[in-house]
Amino acid sequence: QFQGFSGEDGVAYEHKMTAVVERLYTISKPTIAAIHGYAVGAGLVLASVCDLRYATPASRLGVPIARTLGNCITLENYRHLVDSFGTMRTKEMLFTGRLLTATDALQCGFLTAIVDEEMLMTHVTGVAHQISSLAPLTIWSVKEAQRRLNAAEEAIEFDDVVACIYSSSDFAEGVQAYLAKRKPNWRGQ
């Protein structure tokens, strides 16, 4: 899907991804992520905007774009990761391409809890039922408070960086290497 992408194509793609993430983020009801397996790249960003996050012990989480395609994410999505993981853990994930274990993600506060694989959906459904039985306006106020706190931070222009990355030779090389299942030859161009 990324072959032949220009900088403008990259900006358009990342804006579409951000729009999907923002739709989930702005839902007025609590959202719950049930992570069973891998939450990587856009999947992790989507999970990062959920209000509660549960994962199985074997789950792995990360944004390995520095070792796969060599692309980047929007500033808005970067902010969601920082809000969820903290600055240092987010930079480590993005700089190294390392996938975190569920235990790592729990320790840094990303996960609400780790739940046995066979109990994950039962647990998540139980939490959803519990929340739905409580005062809806109180629940809404918590979501709205968090949304307003995050909206107070000014959005900074970042499209120039996204366009630069997606129009680079390194991104084209990353796509080709990924499709060929080989290690990319990064040149910083």
Q: Are the C-beta atoms of 19 and 26 separated by less than 8 Å?
A: no
Residue 156 confidence class, pLDDT cut points 50, 70, 90: low
Number of structural domains found in the chain: 1
Domain that holds residue 123: 7-180
Residue 171 confidence class, pLDDT cut points 50, 70, 90: confident
Does 22 map to a domain?
Answer: yes
Q: Are the C-beta atoms of 185 and 169 separated by less than 8 Å?
A: no
Mean confidence (pLDDT) of the chain:
92
Closest C-alpha among 42, 67, 41, 72 to residue 164: 72
Q: Model pTM greater than 0.95?
A: no
Interval 101-137: pLDDT, tens: 999 999 999 999 999 999 999 999 999 999 999 988 8
Interval 10-36: pLDDT, tens: 899 999 999 999 999 999 899 999 999
- Mean of the pLDDT values across residues 63-76? 92
Q: What is the CATH number of the domain that holds 158?
A: 3.90.226.10
Does 188 map to a domain?
Answer: no
Q: Is 44 exposed, middle or buried (0-12, 13-18, 19+ CB in 10 A)?
A: buried
Does 189 map to a domain?
Answer: no
Specify the higher pLDDT residue, 162 or 178: 178
- CA angle in degrees (0–180, nearest 5) for 78-81-84: 150
How far apart (Å, rounded) are the C-alpha atoms in residues 108 and 84? Answer: 9
Closest C-alpha among 83, 99, 65 to residue 25: 83
